[in-house]
């Protein structure tokens, strides 16, 4: 199996490192719009070579590890690929991508979102094992070709990922709560501190709690602007519901209603009975 990866940053680079370990993968080529990323990907051994579009279109599997807008624009360049080719995107929002696939290549296409990553980006951030034991969501798989669905499931199983299946619209609403909203909050926490006159003194006290809450603010603003834009309505709903919870807590603190404060924290604590 010959694989191409378009986008050689954290997700694409980490994918390449894991795919290299699979016995059914013969070769991995790649490309990226960033010239420095191309150079780094070769130096780091993430891919065997930088391939042009013609070579990429002849690969058995083409991964799109790029922002949502990039995925949509790339579809146009992949028209005319062989009917056996599998295209798998790794975008953080799915509905707009699924709705943008040209009918000519819809059977070629599998919409996937590996629920993994770090706050770092670029080829140097690539980590072997990033995908292992993580969830991958496969959306609207009934619209993909039988061969393409089978190929995608085979690859993600070999990467030791846990597969979940749902509609793209369901995925986007769920992702707004567990991924997109936390990033919005993290950026807001970071900016709240940075706008204080004595921010350096405040940050001198930063310990595990603050570092954990603000860690996501290290993520690429360019990528997350794209995600926020594409999942705007779901994100706004999640932020509003979060704001309601925070406002209720603020009111209870103002009113010295410590019983309610304790109850709120006790309810929140039960989350980790599910996660753990």
Domains of the chain in start order, with CATH, are 2-166 (3.40.50.720), 171-275 (1.10.3660.10)
**Dist CA 99 CA 103 (whole Å):** 10
Looking at the predicted structure, is the pLDDT value of residue 119 above 70? no
Strands 86-89 and 135-139: what pairing? unpaired
Of the ranges 61-70, 105-114, 207-216, which one carries the lowest mean pLDDT score?
207-216
> Which residue, 91, 32, 25, is CA-closest to 60?
25
Strands 162-166 and 135-139: what pairing? parallel
Q: What percent of the chain has pLDDT over 90?
A: 69
Confidence of residue 207 (pLDDT cuts 50, 70, 90): low
Looking at the predicted structure, is the pLDDT value of residue 217 above 90? no
pLDDT in tens, 246-271: 999 999 999 999 999 999 989 888 88
Which pLDDT belongs to residue 263?
92
Which pLDDT belongs to residue 162?
95
pLDDT in tens, 146-163: 999 999 999 999 999 999
How distant, in Å, are the alpha carbons of 138, 216, 222 from that of 211? 32, 9, 22
Which pLDDT belongs to residue 272?
77
Average pLDDT over residues 117-139: 86
Token pair in block for residue 100: 């943008």
**Dist CA 250 CA 38 (whole Å):** 49
Which pLDDT belongs to residue 122?
81
Average pLDDT over residues 36-54: 92
Written in H, E and C, the secondary structure of the chain is CEEEEECCCHHHHHHHHHHCCCCCCCEEEEECCCHHHHHHHHHCCCCCEECCHHHHCCCCEEEECCCHHHHHHHHHHCCCCCCCCEEEECCCCCHHHHCCCCHHHCCCEEEEEECCCCCCCCHHHCCCCCCCCCEEEEECHHHCCHHHHHHHHHHHHHCCCEEEEECHHHHHHHHHHHHHHHHHHHHHHHHHHHCCCCHHHHHHCCCHHHHHHHHHHHCCHHHHHHHHHHCHHHHHHHHHHHHHHHHHHHHHHHCCCHHHHHHHHHHHHCHHHHHC
Looking at the predicted structure, is the pLDDT value of residue 164 above 70? yes
Which of the pair, 192 or 210, is modelled with greater confidence? 192
Those residues whose C-beta lies under 8 Å from the C-beta of residue 248, and which sit 6 or more positions away, are 264
Which pLDDT belongs to residue 128?
87
Which pLDDT belongs to residue 86?
98
**Dist CA 239 CA 245 (whole Å):** 10
Which pLDDT belongs to residue 104?
96
**Dist CA 134 CA 163 (whole Å):** 9
Confidence of residue 114 (pLDDT cuts 50, 70, 90): very high
Looking at the predicted structure, is the pLDDT value of residue 204 above 80? no
Q: What percent of the chain has pLDDT over 70?
A: 97
Confidence of residue 276 (pLDDT cuts 50, 70, 90): low
pTM of the shown model: 0.83
Which of the pair, 82 or 126, is modelled with greater confidence? 82
Strands 2-6 and 27-31: what pairing? parallel
Task: List phi, psi (to 5°) of 228.
Answer: -60, -40
**Dist CA 85 CA 107 (whole Å):** 9
Of the ranges 107-116, 154-163, 202-211, 216-225, which one carries the lowest mean pLDDT score?
202-211
């Amino acid at each position: 199996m010959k694989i191409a990866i378009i986008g050689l940053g954290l997700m694409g680079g980490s994918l390449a490192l894991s795919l290299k370990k699979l016995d059914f993968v013969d070769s991995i080529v790649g490309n990226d719009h960033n010239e420095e990323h191309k150079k780094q990907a070769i130096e780091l051994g993430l891919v065997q070579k930088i391939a042009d579009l013609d070579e990429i279109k002849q690969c058995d599997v083409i991964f799109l590890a790029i922002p949502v807008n990039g995925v949509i624009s790339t579809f146009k360049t992949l028209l005319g690929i062989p009917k056996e080719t599998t295209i798998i995107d790794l975008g953080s929002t799915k509905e707009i991508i699924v709705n943008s696939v040209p009918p000519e290549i819809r059977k070629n296409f599998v919409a996937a979102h590996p629920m993994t990553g770090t706050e770092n980006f670029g080829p140097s951030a690539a980590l072997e094992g990033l995908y292992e034991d993580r969830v991958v969501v496969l959306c609207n798989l009934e619209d993909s070709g039988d061969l393409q669905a089978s190929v995608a499931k085979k690859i993600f199983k070999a990467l030791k990922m846990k597969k979940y299946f749902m509609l793209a619209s369901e995925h986007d609403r769920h992702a707004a709560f567990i991924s997109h909203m936390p990033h919005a909050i993290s950026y807001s926490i970071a900016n709240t501190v940075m706008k204080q006159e004595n921010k350096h003194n405040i940050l001198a006290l930063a310990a595990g709690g603050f570092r954990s809450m603000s860690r996501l603010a290290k993520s690429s603003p360019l990528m997350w602007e794209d995600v926020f834009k594409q999942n705007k309505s779901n994100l706004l709903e999640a932020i509003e519901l979060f704001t309601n919870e925070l406002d209720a807590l603020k009111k209870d603190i103002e009113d010295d209603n410590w019983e309610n404060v304790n109850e709120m924290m006790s309810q929140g604590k039960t989350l980790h009975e599910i996660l753990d």
